[in-house]
């Protein structure tokens, strides 16, 4: 299974962060699909997950700003995080998950929030 994240590495404060994860080599419908992030020097933080039905679950700490979507025919899923601040600067990972057990992980993308 291979996951690959794409999206801008630099986002301006107050704007929207948008990332897409493309999945290959796996049965897309066999997994939940999650986003996880890690600010430098801080803990890994689960952002949320989506299933192929479109059902989502988000971390309450980010719920008001997060939207996930899924494109099953094209084996990809996406993350939108609105009203970003410097606190959203992090490495963002996409991952396949069995509910909330994460395996495999994609390579991660550094996203910096700065003007």
Partner 1 sequence: EIVLTQSPGTLSLSPGDRATLSCRASESVSSNYLAWYQQKPGQTPRLLIYGASSRATGFPDRFSGSGSGTDFTLTIIRLEPEDFAVYYCQQYGSSPPTFGQGTKVEIK
The minimum distance between CB 3 and partner 1, in angstroms, equals: 9
DSSP string, 7-32: S-SEE-TTS-EEEEEEEESS-GGGSE
Q: Which of 44, 54, 69, 80 binds partner 1 (CB under 8 A)?
A: 44
Q: Which of 106, 109, 111, 113 binds partner 1 (CB under 8 A)?
A: 106
Question: Which of helix, strand or coil describes residue 36?
Answer: strand
Nearest in space to 7 (alpha carbons), one of 46, 35, 42, 45: 35
The minimum distance between CB 105 and partner 1, in angstroms, equals: 4
Q: Which region, judged by CB under 8 A, interacts with partner 1, from 8-16, 19-27, 53-61, 82-90?
A: 53-61
Instruction: Tell me if 105 contacts partner 1 by CB under 8 A.
Output: yes
Instruction: Tell me if 15 contacts partner 1 by CB under 8 A.
Output: no
Q: Tell me how far apart the alpha carbons of residues 57 and 61 are, in angstroms, rounded to a whole number.
A: 12
Q: Tell me how far apart the alpha carbons of residues 83 and 75 are, in angstroms, rounded to a whole number.
A: 27
User: Can you give the binding site for partner 1, defined by CB under 8 A?
Assistant: 42-46, 57, 59-61, 93, 99-108
């Amino acid at each position: 299974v291979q996951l690959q994240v794409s999206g801008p590495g630099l986002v301006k404060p107050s704007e929207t962060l948008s990332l897409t994860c493309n999945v290959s080599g796996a049965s897309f419908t066999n997994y939940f699909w999650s986003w996880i992030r890690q600010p430098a020097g801080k803990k890994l933080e689960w952002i949320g997950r989506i299933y192929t039905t479109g059902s989502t679950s988000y971390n309450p700490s980010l719920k008001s700003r997060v939207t996930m979507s899924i494109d099953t025919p094209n084996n990809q899923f996406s993350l939108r995080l609105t009203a970003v601040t410097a606190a959203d600067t992090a490495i963002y990972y996409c991952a396949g998950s069995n509910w909330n057990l994460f395996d495999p992980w994609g390579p991660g993308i550094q996203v910096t929030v700065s003007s």
